[in-house]
Each structure stands twice: as C-alpha cells, then as structure tokens.
Chains A and B, each alone.
Chain A
Amino acid sequence: MIVAGCDIGASTCKSVILQDSAIIGYEIARSRAATVQAGIAVMDTLLQRLGLSYIDLDCCVSTGYGRRILPFAHDDVSEISCHGRGAWFLVPSIRTVLDGGGQDCKALRVGENGTLVDFRMNSKCAAGTGRSLEVMAKSLGVDVSELGPLSQKSTTRIALQKPCCVLTEIEIRHLVLQGKNTADIAAAINDLMARQILHLARDLDEIEERVGLTGGIAKNAGVVHCLERLLGTTLVRFPEDPQIVGALGAALFAADMVRQGTNQLRPG
C-alpha cells in the first residue's frame, strides 16, 4: 500500500509518501502565490524522485490552509488533527504538540491512543508564527535560518516586550542603532518567540508533560532551547524532519482510508 500526504502551508508545501506505514520519501518546497501549482509541484518532484506516478498512490490526503483546492487529493483533514496524528506516530509517548508554522501557531494535547484532546490556535495576530520570525530576522539583517546558531553566541540578555512583530521590528532597529550585539538581539527574538508560543498554550492542562515542537520554527535551535528553559523540561526529539509532521499525519489518515475502503476520489 502506497499512500501520500500533502501539507499546503502558508510558507512551505510539504509532501510525504508512505509504503506500509514507513516513510519512503518527503519533499519540502517554498509556497508560491499560486497555491495549487505549488502543491502539485511538490508532489510531482517527490513522485519523480521515487520513480512513482499518481496512479501508484492508493490514496492521498491534503492538509494545511490550501487543503481544499488540491485536485489530486481524495480527502482533506484539518492541520490540527494531522499534526497530532503525525507527532504521535513518530513519538507515541508525546502528549503536547506545539506547532510553529508559517502563518499559524498551534498547541494541542494528544491522548494516549493518539486522539486529539484539546487545542489552541492563533487567529488574529501573527505572534508566534514563522512569518513574524522572518519579519524580525529581516530587521536584524540576518536570514531566519541564522537566528538559531547566532543566538548561541549571546552573552547579555535583552528582553523584547512588545507582542506585535511590527513594533518589535522598530524596537530591533533601535537596538541595532544603540550598538547592541547582533547575537544578543537574535537570542532576544528566539526568547520572544518561545514566550509567545507558550502564551498560546497557557490554559491547556499539563503542557509541560512530554512536549514536542513541530513546524519550521522547530529548526531554530534557539527557540527550542528557550522553550526548554521556560518549561523546565527537555523537548521530545522527532526522528524525522519536524517540518513534515503535518504531511505525515495526512498520509496516515490516507492509509486509514485505504484500510476502510473509502479511498474513492471525492466528487468535483
């Protein structure tokens, strides 16, 4: 049985292919304004690399903000369920999943059998999302991928106070002008991100218990380190790229559909 999951996010598109519940390949590509084409491209590339084609797929499930418009998907599942399912599949002992995506930030509780218990998600504000991390990195004049390594060289603590990343952008500009160390500002950005993600999760029960961070933000070691310091615990380490967890969850739902025999292509 070969199944696929495709996560059309606001910043990146991810595709994962499973063969009998084992990951045989995945692909991550930057999203473009033309959402559908970006989704098709990320799946095409992966199929080509694995020497497969669309008819070899028994089922494909889409997720993410562009999930309803993907033409080759048999069904779509919300990104909240997919992240819970994917994270639980990789680390069955996980109970809290924090997800820092391109335009959303989620916190969810997973039960012992992998079912979703409760969740929180941002709605109006970009705080805690990858986009705000990019805005802040840009105002510091570094690439978003450099924030993690840079922050490790920090020696003096700076606290950023504004929740809004646009105001923080101005604050960072002023810190740069005051001659503050770039590494210290990078560490302050990571600390702000970690506090914002935890702020979202503040009223979930027992969040400090077996926590994992997924999404693109999990690739920033500085944010992971700050979360660990704030929670007083070590985060769960995933055996796969933390950015593909949502797509992996979608593929697992696709496998369920094949088992239940409901993998007919949806009408329209």
Chain B
Amino acid sequence: MIYAGCDLGLVAAKTVIIKDTELLDLAIVPYTCFPREAAAQALEAVLFSSGISRQDIGRYLATGAGAEAVPNADGTVPDTVSLCRAIREIDPEIGTVLDVGGATFNAYTIDHGGIMLETAITDMCTAGNGILLETMAATLEMSLEEIIEASLNSTNPLPITHQCVVFAQSEVVSLLNIGHDRQDIFAGIAYYVANRIASVAGRTAPLGRMVMIGGVAKNALVMRYLGQCGLKLTNLGNLDPQAVVAYGAALLAADQANSPGNTRIQSHRPQGKGKT
C-alpha cells in the first residue's frame, strides 16, 4: 500500500511517498509567497516522477508549520510527532536530532521508544539558520550551490563579527569593498553557522547517536566545519535530510491506515521546553 506525507515549512514544501515503510520518491519545492501552491506542486511532482495516481495513495498526512494550508490532505500531525516516528524507523539508536532549517533551529533528544524528552528551540532570531546562508549567497551574487562549491577551496575563512542577518549583510558589503574574496567571506559565514550548531548541540545532554536534518545538513561546507568542531554525526543513509519530517508523516499515514479504529495520534509532548 502507498502512503504520502507533506511537510510544509516556512521556506519549502517537502513531500514523500512510501510503499509500506520503503521510501519511493520525494520532492522539495522552495517557495517565497505561496505555501499552498508549493505543497500542491510537490505532491504533483512526486506523483508524476513515480507514475502513481492520487487514488493509489491510501492516506496523505500534512505536518510542519504550514500543515493546515496543505491542500487535499487527509489530516494533520504535529511535526515533532512526525520527526519521532521517522527517527524510530531510520535508526532507534538515534537519540539526538539537530534540525537546522531555513528559519528555525531546534535540537531534540528522543528516547528509545520514540518519545521526545527535551527540545531547545530558537524561534526568535535567525542568526545561524539557512536564511543567513541564503541571504549571504544572494549578497555575494552567486547561487547557494555555486558559492558552497567555490568556498570549499577557501583556506582563509574570514571571521564575521555580526550574527544578525541584517547586520551581516552590510558587513559583507564592506568586506567586499575592501577587496576580500567572496569564497573567504562565505566560508567565514559557514564557519560561524557550524560553530553555533556545535555549541547548541553541546548544550543539549547528548543521548545515543546524533543526526542533523533540515536544509543546512545538505551544505557540504557547514558539515565539513562541523566535523572540525568535533561533532560526530550519524549518516542518514539515502534519505534527504530535508525530507525526514515528511517521511515521518508518511509513516504515520501508514500507521493510521493500518489501525483504522485508532486514527488519533498519540501526542508525544516534550516534557521540558527550553529556549536557547
């Protein structure tokens, strides 16, 4: 049987389809203004590339900050519940999850049974998130992929004094004006992001294996610096780090379909909620 899940975040829609628990296909559609359309497009894209029709999907669940806006979903689930479900499937030994997305940066610890123990959530400031990296790439007039590629060769990452996205942008302009190389500037930004992730990870009591998910986990430069910071991360295998939560929603859709009397999701509320 085929199931689907959609994670509609603040900057992209992620849709996954699975057969039983096996990942079939996924699509990621970034957006700036139209979350509803992005979610619809992501579903259309996976259906098209896998040759499956909407009728074949047993159940389709929405999750994430924009879950309510996902068109044609059969229901919604909290993103923390989706995440726990996905982690239990991927590797129950994983106890710590760092989620570095476009606009938020969360760290979770999860126990063996897939129950969330603690969360550290930064939702008041965007310093060190994906938006910082994207804005800096735009300021340096290169695409994110190009600048990451170029900056991997940087031998001299410049220290950046401003962490605020708005201030860093004008700092970068002044650094360019006094003749610094783009790749050194961007490497400095990536170095800052990696340090911040490592410091938040150090503050959560590490439990079991550690993984990193979210768009920033695909940034090779940040991942390299994280390694240099001494952070040991477990590989997610062939699953896209950005689609983990959507995968969890698809697994929950399968769970719900297989136990029709019990469609209510057991809510695993975090016991302690701390802000960083």
Interface on A for B, CB 8 Å cutoff?
A: 10, 33-34, 103, 124-126, 129, 131-132, 135, 162-167, 170, 173-174, 176-177
CA distance A43 to B270 in the complex (A): 60
How far apart sit A34 and B131, CA to CA, in the bound complex (Å)? 27
Q: How many A-B residue pairs have CB under 8 A?
A: 53
Are the C-beta atoms of B103 and A10 separated by less than 8 Å?
no
A-B contact pairs, 26 of them (CB 8 A): A10-B170, A33-B174, A34-B177, A103-B170, A124-B127, A124-B163, A125-B164, A126-B167, A132-B166, A135-B166, A162-B123, A163-B124, A163-B125, A164-B125, A165-B166, A166-B126, A166-B131, A167-B103, A167-B123, A167-B125, A170-B10, A170-B11, A173-B32, A173-B33, A177-B33, A177-B35
Partner of B125 from the list A33, A125, A170 (CB cut-off 8 Å) is A125
Chain B positions within 8 Å of A, measured between CB atoms, are 10-11, 32-35, 103, 123-127, 131, 135, 162-167, 170, 173-174, 177
Given contacts A34-B177, A177-B33, contact A166 B124 (CB under 8 A): no
Do A126 and B33 touch across chains, with their CB atoms under 8 A apart?
A: no
Q: A10-B170, A166-B126, A167-B124 are in contact. List 5 more A-B contacts (CB 8 A).
A: A33-B174, A131-B167, A162-B123, A165-B166, A176-B33
Give the docked Cα–Cα distance between A10 and B126 (Å).
Answer: 21
Chain A hits for B127, CB < 8 A: 124
Point out the residues of chain B lying under 8 angstroms from A165, CB to CB.
166
Contacts of A126 in B (CB 8 A): 164-167
Most buried by A among B11, B166, B170: B166
Query: How far is it, in angstroms, between the C-alpha of A73 and the C-alpha of B170 when the chains are bound?
Result: 25
Alpha-carbon distance between A125 and B135 when the two chains are bound, in angstroms: 16
Residues of B near A33 (CB, < 8 A) are 173-174, 177
Which of B11, B123, B166 touches A131 (beta carbons < 8 Å)? B166
B197 to chain A, nearest CB (A): 18
| Inter-chain contacts of A124 with B (CB < 8 A) | 127, 162-164, 167
In angstroms, Cα B126 to Cα A135, docked, is 14
C-alpha gap A126/B131 in the complex (Å) = 15
Contact, CB under 8 Å: B177 / A166 = no
**Also in contact, A166 and B103, with CB within 8 A (given A124-B164, A173-B33):** yes
Contact (Cβ within 8 A) B126 A167: yes
Q: Are A166 and B33 in contact (CB under 8 A)?
A: no
Residues of the A chain whose Cβ atoms lie less than 8 Å from the Cβ of B10: 170
Cβ–Cβ contact A162 & B124, under 8 A = yes
Q: In angstroms, how far is the closest chain B Cβ from the Cβ of A177?
A: 7
How far apart are the CA atoms of A8 and B35 in the complex, in Å?
Answer: 41
Find chain A residues with CB under 8 A from B167 CB: 103, 124, 126, 131
Q: Tell me, rounded to whole Å, the shortest Cβ–Cβ distance linking B36 to chain A.
A: 8
A176 to B164, alpha carbons, bound, how many Å?
A: 25
With CB as the reference atom, state the residue of chain B lying closest to A126: B166
For A10, A125, A176, A177, the residue with the greatest tally of chain B CB atoms inside 10 Å of its CB is A125
- In the bound complex, how far is the Cα of B167 from the Cα of A162, in angstroms? 17
Which residue from chain B places its CB closest to the CB of A170 in the assembled complex?
B10
* A131-B125 Cα distance, complex, nearest whole Å: 16
A169 to B33, CA, bound (A): 11
CB distance from A235 to the nearest CB of B (A): 26
Inter-subunit contact A166/B165 (CB<8 Å): yes
The answer to whether A170 and B103 have CB atoms under 8 Å apart is yes
B174 near A164: Cβ-Cβ < 8 Å: no
Most buried by A among B32, B124, B164: B164
- Whole-angstrom CA separation of A34 from B32 in the bound complex: 32
**For B164, what are the chain A residues with a Cβ–Cβ distance below 8 Å?**
124-126
Chain A residues closer than 8 Å to B35, beta-carbon distance: 174, 177
| Listed residue (B124, B127, B177) with the most chain A CB atoms within 10 angstroms of its CB | B124
| Alpha-carbon separation in the docked complex, A164 to B177 (Å) | 27
Which residues of chain B have C-beta atoms less than 8 A from A163's C-beta?
124-125
Chain B residue nearest to A10 in the complex (CB): B170
What is the minimal beta-carbon distance from A122 to any residue of chain B, in angstroms? 9
Report the Cα distance A60→B40, complex, angstroms: 62
Residues of B within 8 A of A125 (CB): 125, 164
Complex Cα gap A176–B34 (Å): 11
Instruction: Give complex CA distance A10, B164 in Å.
Output: 15
Bound together, the chains give a CA A170 to CA B165 distance in angstroms of 14
Tell me, rounded to whole Å, the shortest Cβ–Cβ distance linking B3 to chain A.
28
